[in-house]
Amino acid sequence: MLTALALTLPAAGCGTAAGTQSPAAAPVSVPSPAPSLTLGGASAAAATSAVPPQPPTSPSAKAATSATASPSAEASEAAEESTTQAVARSDGRGGPVPFTPGKAMLGSYLALGGKSLSQSLSLRRGQLDREQRIVHRFYPWQGYIPTSEPDVSKKSVLLASWHGAPLGGINNGSSDANIRSVARKLKAMKRPILLRWGWEMNGDWFEWSGPKNGGPANYVKAYRRIHRIFGEVGADNIAWVWSPNWNSSPNSSANKVQKYYPGDDYVDWVGISGYNFYGESPATLFNPITKIYGGRKPIILTETAAVKGKAAWIKQLGAWVNKTSAVGAVVWFDTDVQHDSDHNFRFDTDSSALAAYRGMARSSRFAG
């Protein structure tokens, strides 16, 4: 079923559509390269249920993103030193996927070349001596969406990234039947699900983005409509993940990330997409949004990976999570087959990177 999807939808998750690292211009999640995936052994029937590809990255877009969207290294380090994260309260936050203060769940989007999901999970289990606490899957707006994920252990939490669509067709009610159908299917899984709909909306690479749909207000309206319909269907196993890119594109006052926030009543977890395409530190990528929302909602890094200096960056990531109490989950974008990207996001590309990731995975902070 979904164990071998070929991801070919437009714009997935690791970047922006034009190569700015806000996810990046491809499916990663910043105007930088956003990855779109093709899983090994995917069947034709499941091909549409993959991660959307990111828009190709142009040198000019990359330069613009790096220069205007990401904070300077100096400002980033200052923020890292001066920002005090609110201590997460044990007040039931996280909805059906509860947040445990002091413990972060660690998981992955897994699409390893030549391997099914089951085989990929087995490989990572052997390398890390632990299960994936979160398994990330991408589903299309319309088309094949399963009512079960047999390869995802009941001990793991399913993170479902559900593609968006042009917002006009959502807000005018013409998509209500599709939304109800998806709500019923996810409800039928009878397991807690982290649902990330319409991610990286503050970038300009996806068809559901604010910049392509008249601004943030239309995104908020669509998000709330979908939330309401899921409630009417009784899909009470859904933990809602609102997941912007770490920086916005365009980087303007009208496109500030705060303008896309649907409200505390509609969000259980705040997600962030961010990769070190231009050498950004974890603090640069994740401090700004964590500072805004970390005192109100648990933070999940829904898409992240290193593409350069992997071992050192993984150690930095572990150190950042250790001192950022609001973080309740980290999800690695673990693939070497992302369409429209020549990056290898796997953490086992060399022995030092694998050792660093293994050390992070086995630390007490990641025992969630």
**Could you tell me which residues are beta bridge partners of residue 365?**
none
Q: Of 326, 278, 335, 343, which Cα lies nearest the Cα of 104?
A: 326
Task: Give the pairing of strands 299-305 and 327-335.
Answer: parallel
Among 33-37, 66-70, 276-280, name the one with the lowest average pLDDT. Answer: 33-37
The model's pLDDT over 165-191, given as tens digits with 9 standing for 90+, comes to 999 999 999 999 999 999 999 999 999
Query: Structure tokens of 173?
Result: 């009610």
Burial 331-346 (b: 16+ CB within 10 A, else e): bbbbbbbbbbbebbbb
The model's pLDDT over 233-283, given as tens digits with 9 standing for 90+, comes to 999 999 999 999 999 999 999 999 999 999 999 999 999 999 999 999 999
Mean pLDDT of 194-211: 98
Task: Give the pairing of strands 105-111 and 327-335.
Answer: parallel
Q: How far is the first Cα of the chain from the last one, in angstroms, to the nearest whole number? A: 28
Cis check for the bond before 56: say yes or no (omega within 30 of 0).
no
**Could you tell me which residues are beta bridge partners of residue 111?**
335
Query: What is the rounded CA–CA span in Å between residue 106 and residue 129?
Result: 13
Q: pLDDT at residue 292 above 50?
A: yes
The predicted structure's pLDDT at residue 49: 32
Query: Structure tokens of 149?
Result: 């994920």
Query: What is the rounded CA–CA span in Å between residue 33 and residue 14?
Result: 6
Between 339 and 303, the higher pLDDT residue: 303
Whole-structure pTM value: 0.81
Mean pLDDT of 144-172: 97
Average pLDDT taken over every residue of the chain:
82
Written as one string, the DSSP assignment of 115-179 is --HHHHHHHHHHHHTS--SEEEEEE-SSS---S--TTS-TTSEEEEEE----THHHHTSTTHHHH
